[in-house]
Structure 1
Amino acid sequence: MNNHMNVQVQESVVQFPQLNRPAPDFDALTTDGQKTLADYKGKWLVLFSHPADFTPVCTTEFMAFANKAGEFRAKGAELLGLSIDSVHSHIAWMRNIKENFGVEITFPIIADLSMQVAKSYGMVQPGASDTSAVRATFIIDPEGVLRAMVYYPMSNGRSVDEFLRLLDALQTSDANSCATPENWRVGEPVIVPPPKTAAAADARKAEGYEYTDWYFSKKTL
């Protein structure tokens, strides 16, 4: 009995998406036709799920993503939504948002009635719901590698600005081999990777960085 339970746990861990690994592949119907993960190769992708169409919190999030879509595209990123609803429901909701709020949803939404994509990304959380996706957000890089994932409860909306900030941070770290501190914004100093040897730690103070201690130094790009 215990051995069987252990196997089930191990399998679920393997199926769950993992950072710095290839993002789960998909081939899904959307409001813009069929889309695959390969369609986004060469671009950053922000894939995000919501519990259901025609719900108030989700509506505020979709309007926020739509209003910031140009900023994401300016950073080389595309948006892709998902919920366990039909494509007709998505289209009707998009039209309703435009009619009621004057906001046009310009990015596609995956219709995932089979829950295949949602389950492969761990969007369905049994502690929250067995039939709806939680508010999960995944940032996938131009090579199809999953770089960040953030989960929110169904009751609370996300901060879209945070995903713009995180995208900036990821791109900056990639381009400059650095880390970024809490709430880092473009133009602020970045963190220099700590030394990996005792000799390098001794030399760090004289290397011209904004030095606090051997393990904590910053620089301006």
Structure 2
Amino acid sequence: MDGVSPKFVLPETFDGVKMEITGQLGMIWELVKAPVIVPLLQLAVYICLLMSLMLLCERVYMGIVIVLVKLFWKKPEKRYKFEPIHDDEELGSSNFPVVLVQIPMFNEREVYKLSIGAASGLSWPSDRLVIQVLDDSTDPTVKQMVEMECQRWASKGINITYQIRENRVGYKAGALKEGLKRSYVKHCEYVVIFDADFQPEPDFLRRSIPFLVHNPNIALVQARWRFGNN
């Protein structure tokens, strides 16, 4: 008898129970399929159709809006009074309003040169432009780099000031508010805010400030911008 493995024989009643359970499950499926599963699938189909219809309506609506904008939308120069500001032979640069440019920064190692350089290159009389670099950096190395960049442009005759504060209360908005408290900006008539990675075109002020000068009911001009952020 050595080497002979024992054999187990399942009773015939086990097969009968198995078949009975399978049959009951099949009956339950048939009972549930028609009143529950089929309606759920139909509901899902209707929802998909409804969403497709909504998407189609949205596309049609946006298409109509785009066509109407192309046909009837007027450029800002036509909707509002716009007259370029030029140098006056008698008044000189005093014909230009004094503009404050604020550039808030926070550890902007990669982009600080771009924004400071772009602001310093704005086509606006130097005696009518004040650039304020508001540095909330926590990295001493970055702070030193930003300050040196400001000094470099200041040595070229640009009216640029490097400003820091002891805390970061209010974060970016707090830095902007703190900058407006400085005595040297009290005579500024307009404020322009550039983020640290903005790269305004040289004629940005000449294209935007006239809207504020010639339209007293306008308090804010939002423009398109170029920026670089690595």
* TM category, shorter: 0.3 to 0.5
TM-score of the pair, normalised by structure 1:
0.35
**What TM-score, normalized to structure 2?**
0.34
Q: Which has the higher strand share?
A: 1
Rg (Cα) greater in structure: 2
Instruction: Give the structure with the larger helix fraction.
Output: 2
